[in-house]
Amino acid sequence: MGDADETAKLWKVNRTIHELVKDRGFMVADDEINMDLQHFRDLYANQSGVVDRNQLNFYTTSASNPTDQIFVFFCDEKSVGVKSMRKLLSILEEKSIQRGIIVFPGNMTPSARKVIVAMASEYRLEEFSEADLLVNIVHHTLVPRHEVLTQEEKRMLLEKYYLVFRSQTQWLGTMASVVAKSSKSQDPVKRAEDMRVIAFASSGRRYPSLAEESVDALNHYQQLA
């Protein structure tokens, strides 16, 4: 890939990761999202036209909670290893930030992923390849927009959809921590969208194929914390 193509790719990746962070409720300037390619090149590319990924690193604060911060780390290693993860963790420790996202151009080694698991009690770490961020998936017209509910919205949802019919809960084998929503639709496209989520019990056992086959099927199951 030429330098011009690489710069254009990183411009898209940088825009998408800022959109992602903003969608999660963190403060992001509109200029970061609306920046055109030429402005991006002027800011981050050297005289040879090469973008230094380290210049793309940034951190920001939650709009609703000033103590909640997130750091986005652009790794320049084709294959992310433990060394890069240690570098990210040292930055998080230095800045007293508990949430981090690592963005990389190639792939991540199994050892690096083990670091994410091992540090889960102290840090919330996420990983994205640059290929995953070339397009903002929520902008796709066929992708329904998802929003995380607040605790109050979650409480209201549970009150609204609480199942009081013993026959339904017994038939579905649901447990107290499971949320179910039934739906009726004559639209085959809508129905296909509704049927795609399969229920899991708290034990991890998959429920039978009722959710895929019944007209009055499950729309969605979610294991609550």
pLDDT digits (tens, 9 = 90+) for 34-62: 999 999 999 999 888 889 999 999 999 99
114 with 162, same domain?
A: no
Total number of domains in the chain: 2
Structural domain ending residue among the three candidates 86, 108, 139: 139
12 with 123, same domain?
A: yes
The CA distance from 8 to 165, in Å, is 56
- Average confidence (pLDDT) over 118-142: 88
Q: What is the per-residue pLDDT for 156?
A: 80
123 with 170, same domain?
A: no
How far is C-alpha 79 from the geometric centre of its chain's CA atoms?
21
Q: Is residue 144 part of a domain?
A: no
115 with 168, same domain?
A: no
Q: Is the pLDDT of residue 94 over 50?
A: yes
Domain assignment of residue 164, given as a range? 151-223
